[in-house]
Copies of this chain bind each other. A is one copy, B any other.
């Protein structure tokens, strides 16, 4: 396609070889290390005197399925908004997620559940792996259209490791609470991707500008992603919270927060829109900020009002970010953030972390009663005061920003390796670089790819 035959031959092999190598290596590591946990193993479970109804599967699996739908349907279709990049958006999401969930099972397993030489897996590890995939897909949203699939797989290879370490530091070393991942998933994923996008800055990207917008139908496909993310977000935030009131309260808070962020998004979108018209980009994205902003605090006694207020704020900040900050991010900071992850995950994630600081700092024995043990075990066991917990939460945010920034920088250097196949500036946001693409209409032949400067650049 682009330039010399040897380059084409190189690309032909890069993706398949990387897929085969990563899958092969993962399989070997699974063979050596991964075992069923005692809730999954036929023999182990029955040694204990358990009833089948007690199996954690029944408490977590419905949440897992919702999370799984968000990752594959939600993220996959949300990114289909680009007019000529639908195959890549949904396809690369699929590929990245399928690899990252395996790799994350290993990394998180070594860090969290490595006993007697083995990693033990079950529904909790499935949810944790899907959460990590969420962070990887957030990062890929900043790069959308400007990287090839082999680059994205390498990014995932690195990011999953750093995600796991950051999560381990926060949850296990610092005793930070972050059930829905305002910090570990959204803040980490967003800033990792943004810093990476900064390193990969393309000054000539306007050569692909004509493909950067949406068309009518691509916006409708993207709304499939939006709506599935929106409806299942209560399950996302509650998937790993404490059984009983913990999951119940988390789901309820998230439900309210999302409703409020939807109203503030419509309000602000019309307010700042040309002629008062709504902008699909805002509705597709900013309406979801309510889910991000309560990621840390929705398991806490946030109160229904607190959830509404948080969601309202997040929708407002996110919409204004799309309108006013994204252009500045590109022009001043040289960060090309294709799907606006700074507005949907970055700022709302940081806000969510700060909200967690506030709500943790207000925790009292009276408000949580015997439930305190489940939400703030260190406070319940008098190892920490609420204020001290709040300080740890704040410190967790800084740790996350540091890991994300350094990680994104490293990732950028990795993805710039010269032998990696990357689309030309004039071929960004274009499916045909990676896919055999049929025409838009029945009788149309395959669309010719515009390769104006292909010769000069290759």
Interface string of A107-119 (1 = CB under 8 A from B): 0000000000000
Q: Considering only CB atoms, which chain B residue lies closest to A57 in the complex?
A: B248
| Beta-carbon contact of B268 and A16 below 8 Å | yes
A122-B252, A249-B42, A252-B121 as given contacts; A436 in contact with B86, CB under 8 Å = no
B contact residues around A275 at 8 Å (CB): 1, 8, 11-12
B contact residues around A35 at 8 Å (CB): 303-304
B contact residues around A91 at 8 Å (CB): 223, 278, 280, 283
| Beta-carbon contact of B304 and A121 below 8 Å | yes
| Beta-carbon contact of A22 and B263 below 8 Å | yes
Query: What is the bound-complex CA distance between A33 and B6, given in angstroms?
Result: 70
Chain B min CB distance to A384 (Å)? 17
Question: Does A87 touch B at the CB level, under 8 Å?
Answer: yes
A80-B220, A259-B99 as given contacts; A369 in contact with B248, CB under 8 Å = no
Question: Does A243 touch B at the CB level, under 8 Å?
Answer: yes
Interface string of A282-301 (1 = CB under 8 A from B): 01000100000000000001
Taking CB atoms and an 8 Å cut-off, the chain A residues in 78-113 that contact chain B are 80, 83-84, 86-87, 90-91, 94-95, 98-99, 101-102
Question: Does A203 touch B at the CB level, under 8 Å?
Answer: no
| Beta-carbon contact of A62 and B59 below 8 Å | no
The stretch from A206-214, A341-349, A392-400 touching chain B is A206-214
Central interface residue in A23, A55, A86, A220, by most chain B CB within 10 Å:
A23
Interface string of A401-439 (1 = CB under 8 A from B): 000000000000000000000000000000010111111
Query: What is the bound-complex CA distance between A41 and B273, given in angstroms?
Result: 41
A217-B217, A260-B23, A276-B13 as given contacts; A123 in contact with B248, CB under 8 Å = yes
Taking CB atoms and an 8 Å cut-off, the chain A residues in 357-379 that contact chain B are 366-372, 374-375
The stretch from A24-32, A170-178, A184-192 touching chain B is A24-32
| Beta-carbon contact of A276 and B15 below 8 Å | yes
Number of copies: 3
B contact residues around A252 at 8 Å (CB): 36, 40, 121-123, 126
| Beta-carbon contact of B68 and A231 below 8 Å | yes
Question: Does A455 touch B at the CB level, under 8 Å?
Answer: no
Question: Does A131 touch B at the CB level, under 8 Å?
Answer: no
B contact residues around A19 at 8 Å (CB): 263-264, 266-267, 270
The stretch from A43-51, A160-168, A194-202, A325-333 touching chain B is A43-51
Question: Does A274 touch B at the CB level, under 8 Å?
Answer: yes
Question: Does A143 touch B at the CB level, under 8 Å?
Answer: no
Central interface residue in A61, A149, A214, by most chain B CB within 10 Å:
A61
Query: What is the bound-complex CA distance between A437 and B281, given in angstroms?
Result: 11
Central interface residue in A55, A83, A223, by most chain B CB within 10 Å:
A223
How many residues of A are in contact with the other chain, CB < 8 A? Answer: 147
Question: Does A322 touch B at the CB level, under 8 Å?
Answer: no
| Beta-carbon contact of B34 and A372 below 8 Å | no
Question: Does A65 touch B at the CB level, under 8 Å?
Answer: yes
Question: Does A219 touch B at the CB level, under 8 Å?
Answer: yes
Query: What is the bound-complex CA distance between A235 and B95, given in angstroms?
Result: 21
Select A251's contact among B23, B45, B57, beta carbons within 8 Å: B57
Question: Does A454 touch B at the CB level, under 8 Å?
Answer: no
| Beta-carbon contact of A39 and B248 below 8 Å | yes
B contact residues around A277 at 8 Å (CB): 432, 434-436
Select A27's contact among B77, B214, B260, B273, beta carbons within 8 Å: B260
Central interface residue in A73, A255, A440, by most chain B CB within 10 Å:
A255
Taking CB atoms and an 8 Å cut-off, the chain A residues in 202-254 that contact chain B are 210-211, 213-217, 219-221, 223-224, 227-228, 230-232, 234-235, 242-249, 251-252
A126-B255, A227-B94 as given contacts; A248 in contact with B55, CB under 8 Å = yes
Chain B min CB distance to A256 (Å)? 7
Query: What is the bound-complex CA distance between A242 and B53, given in angstroms?
Result: 11
B contact residues around A55 at 8 Å (CB): 243-245, 247-248
A-B complex: 3 closest residue pairs judged by Cβ atoms = A43-B369, A42-B371, A12-B276
